[in-house]
Amino acid sequence: MLAHVLTHGPVTRTAIGQETDLSPATVSRIVEQLLDEGLLTETDGAPTATRGRRATRVAIAAGRGVVCGVDVGGSNVRLVVADLAATPLVGRTVPTPAGYDAPRLAQWLADLIRQTVGDNLDRLDCVAVGLPGAVRQHDRTVSNAPNLPQVEDPEFLRLLEKRLATGVEVDNDSNYALLGELRFGAARDAQTAVMFTIGAGLGAGVAIERRLFRGRSGLVGEFGHLPAGPLGVALEQIITGPGILARARDLGLPFDNPADVFHSKDSRLVPVKQYVEQALLIILTAAVVAYEPEVIVLGGGISHALKPDLGRLGGRLREIVPAAAAVVHSAELGDLSGALGAVVAALHTAYGRLGLAELDLAHVPQSDALARSDLPALSAKVIA
């Protein structure tokens, strides 16, 4: 019953009975029980087909608690606080103090989360944190985080939880970014999807039947490790920011921002751009033949520079694999996809505590939760 209300939003008892085949008496009994427990709340009446009292609708008691989704990157940390209906309440972005050691970084992040949650701290139900590395779920070991190696130290998560005085969900930041796209963004209509986040590093997320596919060690989909470049160079070293800047410097063209390499009209940079495109094409092909996704989403700082060429890149991909999925940019959610996906993960934990089955979680929260809020306004609240 709770899963049905979460999936369909404010809904009348009559509609619940019609859509679940439960008798009116059973629906009323369960709804009254959930109302008494404070899990549901009644909203304004809905119009009825006949004269008389308007039928009241029930919805999740959104104000019962809040969750916090956190996207930790090598350059920035993004946070979104949302209620139990997945409506974002506040967003925040601050530079990552990458020079801190693991204990100090954990303390700083915990304090930042507490400050961002603010007056809702006593109602904080769950925190989910996306990290720029592979996360092995059974023991939460973090590896392959070259841009923020402090998070690999087991003390980081232990001290973070101790400072917050609550459990923390943790996963690879690209997995959470894909989760955000599945619920609210470019992959909302897909059952199987792949996402690559390209910036200072290369991250990958894979979802099958709308559920994240992590594997044993958290390295599923990380095709950037393939030694497919010249002399066995890993593809990640070719298409990420540091590699792009290094190749431009080899040509005597120093840049501070890898995106400027793609925007430049200097003909000497054509081989660099072709090199990057070919490496990305190998990664995309690997994703298609491994998972046959319905959509491939590109996010991260470098993806913005690649956006004008995605149509042509998709065409080249279909020449190699005719049945290849569309390659799209994370334009709708942008840099907030990771934090919003972490919100979804935190909500799944909260919903699980309320009794939702694992299979129900693939369909909640509602995909129009952001439509009911104001994403531009949320972005406007992001502060440095």
CA proximity to 184, closest of 341, 6, 70? 341
- CATH number, domain with residue 10: 1.10.10.10
Compute the distance between CA of residue 96 and CA of residue 93 in angstroms, rounded to an integer.
9
Among 196-200, 222-226, 364-368, 372-376, whose mean pLDDT is lowest?
Answer: 372-376
- How far does Cα 344 stand from its chain's mean position? 8
Q: Give the pTM.
A: 0.88
Structure tokens at 335: 């840099």
Q: Of 31, 60, 89, which residue is a domain's last? A: 60
Q: Nearest-5° angle of CA 296, CA 145, CA 102?
A: 140
Q: Is 202 helix (H, G, I), strand (E, B) or coil?
A: strand
Are 132 and 147 within one domain? yes
How many folded domains does the chain comprise?
3
pLDDT, tens only, 319-365: 999 999 999 999 889 899 999 999 999 999 999 888 888 877 877 88
Are 97 and 153 within one domain? yes
Structure tokens at 90: 């506040």
Q: From residue 74, how far is each of 145, 146, 151, 200 by CA, in Å?
A: 9, 9, 10, 8
Using the 8-state DSSP alphabet, how is residue 298 labeled? E
Q: From residue 143, how far is each of 110, 131, 151, 156, 297 by CA, in Å?
A: 21, 10, 8, 13, 24
Are 247 and 131 within one domain? no
CA proximity to 80, closest of 117, 122, 133? 117
Are 246 and 369 within one domain? no
Q: Of 38, 60, 82, which residue is a domain's last? A: 60
Alpha helices in 188-336 (DSSP H): 236-239, 241-250, 258-263, 270-291, 301-306, 310-320
- With contact defined as beta carbons under 8 Å apart, do 84 and 61 qualify? yes
Compute the distance between CA of residue 152 and CA of residue 161 in angstroms, rounded to an integer.
15
The pLDDT-based confidence of 372 (bands split at 50, 70, 90) is: low
- How far does Cα 324 stand from its chain's mean position? 23
Q: Is 204 helix (H, G, I), strand (E, B) or coil?
A: strand
Structure tokens at 253: 């063209």
- Whether 220 shows a pLDDT value over 80: the answer reads yes
- Whether 384 shows a pLDDT value over 50: the answer reads no
Say which residue, 62 or 174, is predicted with more confidence.
Answer: 174
- Average confidence (pLDDT) over 275-304: 95
- With contact defined as beta carbons under 8 Å apart, do 263 and 163 qualify? no
CA proximity to 295, closest of 281, 284, 282? 284
Range of the domain at 54: 1-60
Are 113 and 231 within one domain? no
- The one-letter amino acid code at 266 reads D
Phi and psi, residue 179, nearest 5°: -60, -40
- Average confidence (pLDDT) over 256-271: 93
- How far does Cα 38 stand from its chain's mean position? 29
Are 314 and 327 within one domain? yes
The pLDDT-based confidence of 9 (bands split at 50, 70, 90) is: confident
Are 343 and 291 within one domain? no
- CATH number, domain with residue 168: 3.30.420.40
- Average confidence (pLDDT) over 16-33: 85
Structure tokens at 283: 């990664």
Structure tokens at 325: 């999925």
Compute the distance between CA of residue 176 and CA of residue 33 in angstroms, rounded to an integer.
34
Polymer length of the chain: 384
Q: What is the pLDDT of residue 374?
A: 56
- Whether 172 shows a pLDDT value over 60: the answer reads yes
Bridge partner residues of 59 (DSSP): 41
Are 207 and 138 within one domain? no
